[in-house]
Amino acid sequence: MPDLAKNIDPKVRLNLDMTVEVKEQLERIRDEVHADSMGEVIRRALAVYDYLHSEQANGAHLLIRNKDGVEKGLPLF
């Protein structure tokens, strides 16, 4: 039987200073998306940002289209 402990990525603990408003925003998002933790919200957000940044760096343009069909560009950097 394989040792499952070997397949788990090592973890690093980070301490983050943030305003009360940012913490409340993380908690609200955690609850809305049914994430297990604020750390999961941050990991998901980082994955999305990384993907969008990579696409934009390769020449893609990020557009947001509202319900009325109006589009606007969204620069990441």
Residue 50 lies in a domain: yes
At residue 54, the pLDDT reads: 93
Residue 4 lies in a domain: no
Residue 64 lies in a domain: yes
Residue 1 lies in a domain: no
Residue 7 lies in a domain: no
Query: What residues make up the domain containing 65?
Result: 17-73
Residue 23 lies in a domain: yes
Residue 22 lies in a domain: yes
Residue 12 lies in a domain: no
Number of domains making up the chain:
1
| Mean pLDDT for the stretch of residues 69-73 | 94
| Contact yes or no for 57/73 (Cβ under 8 A) | no
* Residue pLDDT, tens place only, 2-50: 555 566 889 899 999 999 999 999 999 999 999 999 999 999 999 999 9
| Contact yes or no for 41/29 (Cβ under 8 A) | yes
Task: Flag whether pLDDT at 1 surpasses 70.
Answer: no
- pTM of the predicted protein model: 0.75
| Mean pLDDT for the stretch of residues 45-71 | 93
